[in-house]
Every structure is written in structure tokens, then in C-alpha cells.
Amino acid sequence: MIKKNNVFIVAEAGNNHEGDFSVAKKLIDKASESGADAIKFQTYDVDNFIDPKLQKSYKKFKKFSLSYEQFYKLSQYCKKKKIIFFSTPFDLKSAIFLNKIQKIFKISSGDNNFTDLIKLISRFNKHLIISSGLLSLNDLKNVYKVVKKIRGKNLKLSFLHCVSSYPTPLDQINLSNISLIKENFNDVNVGFSDHTIGTKAPLYAVLAGASIIEKHFTLDNKFSNFRDHALSLNPKNFKIMVNQIRDAENILGEKRKIALLLERKNLISMRRSAYASRNLKKGQILRRKDIIYLRPGSGLNEEEVTKILGKKIKVELDKSRSIKKRYFK
């Protein structure tokens, strides 16, 4: 996966260009300005995707389709705009074409049981992202086996938790599945493909451990009556989401438990060290009961004290005086 940050953020443009190449370019402009790491489209040959007898759906997707040449130009335009381009193929022919112009592949929830497509893309040996919508855990394990059989140890695979309902109510999103997928697939990246309204779910998904966020993206939520515009984020709100996620990354920090530099300035003031618990005479043998541990920690710690217990005191020590090694024979 190509990413500058801990969380790889994908602006899912899908078909929100509605077949207009200039709108597709504007989506790239705005996604780049909004801070997305990548923008994703959908590529298909409608005759290998929709049954022509479904006239309404067939006509809509026919109208929304862009040519392979246009997708090539979009991929080049993304390079200019410094944003990663990739597209979800909805047929084998489109997958073969996209393999020439992109480094990442995504398989949608609708096709996560389309084994021929999964096998074909697995053989390309590029990073593969698969949405888990409509699948049970056992189904997802079967998908994993298909990819694993072809790729072996070099999986380069990500699963996205996804609920295939548009839009998905927040109380049905079940982000606990992010940790469930992690527990069952320890060699797979885990992310979240979101169909809720707003920015809450993606942010919570990051806090739940998602390393990829895919969120639908539009120029205008009222662009048309096409369903995806309403559940997408416009550029202003997408940028808000990106900023929230980047803030969350900073707050979550690294999985590395050490005493931080900013803590060390408090090391002496907050730690304890050994002091005399009472007045001690010269020549007296130091016992454990003669020690009390108080702040600050500028003197001997507990481990160092064990090395002087039982030794004679060379000087008189008043109660609450810090104990030093040089006071003992």
C-alpha cells in the first residue's frame, strides 16, 4: 500500500461523474485539495455487467460509463495532481485494462463472491482491497483462501468492513467487526468502507483500528437524484473528515511504550528516593526500617538501597535527610 500516513484515505468518486469526463477531472481536483490519499472510480463494460433486460439500470450505467481512454487520461491527471488513481473493475476485461494503469485494485462487495474476478486480480500481484459487505465471517475466510492459494505469503491484501446498505444507519454499522477481522486475519490490513451519512463513522473506525478509510465523494450532494450523491461527502465535509482522522492519528500515536522525552523532565520530581526515616547515628548498621521513600527522586532508588543495607553509617544522619552511597562503609 502506498501511503504517507497511518490511515490511507480514499475518496470514492465511483460514478458520481455521471459519465461527464470534465466532472471526473473536477472530482480529482477537489479530492486532492481535500487531502485524500487516493481517488477511486468504477470501470466497466456495461454489457459484461448489467443484464440488458434491466432496462433502467442498464441505461443508467451505460450513460455513466467512461471509456478506457478516458480512464487512462484520468490516471495521468492524478499524477499531475499528486493523488493516487485507482478504479474498481466490474468485469474481467476492465480488470485487464486497469492492470496497465494502476497499482492498487479494489473489489466491491457486490463482487466479493465473483471468484473469476478475484483470481484474475490476485494474479496481477498488486495490492488488493476487498470489501466485506454481504459476507459472513466464514465467507470472508473462503475469499482469503482463494487469494492465499494464488499469492502465498506475499498477500498484499486488505479487507474493508462494509455494510452494503445505502445509507447505513449508524446503529447498524457495527464497527466491532474491524477488530473481529483483525483477530481472524493477522496478515491482512483492515479498513472501513463507509455508507453512513456524515463523518462520525469513519473517525470512529480509525479509533477502532482501521488503516484504510473509503468514503463516497461528490462535488455537490444535490448534483442530481443519483443515490450516491446524497450519501457522499462534498469537498468541504470531506476535508473536515480528513482533518479529524489526521488529528486522531496524532492522538493515537505509536505502539511504542517508552518514557517520552517530554515526561523525563518530571522524572526526578515525580519519583521517590531513599531518605532517613529517623535520626541515625554514626557507626549504626543501616536497616530497612531506617529508610523512607519520598519525593523527589534525586537520591538512591530501591534497587540501589539493597546494596547498602547492613552497612555501617559513616556520618550522623538527621531524619528526612537524603541518603547517599558515600555515607556508608
Residues 124-163 have pLDDT tens digits of: 999 999 999 999 999 999 999 999 999 999 999 999 999 9
Query: Among 42, 19, 38, which Cα is nearest to 89's?
Result: 42
Ramachandran sector of residue 198 (left: φ over 0; alpha: ψ -120 to 50; beta: rest): left
pLDDT above 90: percentage of residues in the chain: 92
Here the cell at position 305 is: 538501597
In whole angstroms, give the CA distance from residue 226 to residue 211.
29
> Taking residues 214-227, what's their average pLDDT?
94
The pLDDT value given to residue 72: 98
Region 298-311: what's the mean pLDDT?
95
DSSP calls for 42-103? EE--GGGTS-TTSHHHHHHHHHH---HHHHHHHHHHHHHTT-EEEEEESSHHHHHHHTTT-S
Evaluate if residue 4 carries a pLDDT over 80.
no
Nearest to 232 by CA among 85, 30, 56: 30
Q: What single string gives the DSSP state of each residue in 190-245?
A: EEEEE-SSSSHHHHHHHHTT-SEEEEEB-S-TTS-S-HHHHHSBPHHHHHHHHHHH
Q: Per-residue pLDDT averaged across 186-203, rounded?
A: 97
DSSP letter at 170? G
Q: What is the DSSP letter of 186?
A: T
Taking CA atoms, 189 is separated from 1, 7, 182, 212, 216, in Å, by: 9, 11, 8, 8, 20
pLDDT digits (tens, 9 = 90+) for 238-266: 999 999 999 999 999 888 888 888 888 99
* Cα 122 to Cα 117, 177, 189, distances in angstroms: 8, 24, 16
Q: Where are the beta strands (DSSP E) in 126-202?
A: 127-131, 157-162, 189-194
- What pLDDT shows up at residue 258? 85
Decide if pLDDT at 69 tops 80. Answer: yes
pLDDT of 306 = 95
Which range, of 48-52, 87-91, 121-125, 258-262, averages the lowest pLDDT? 258-262
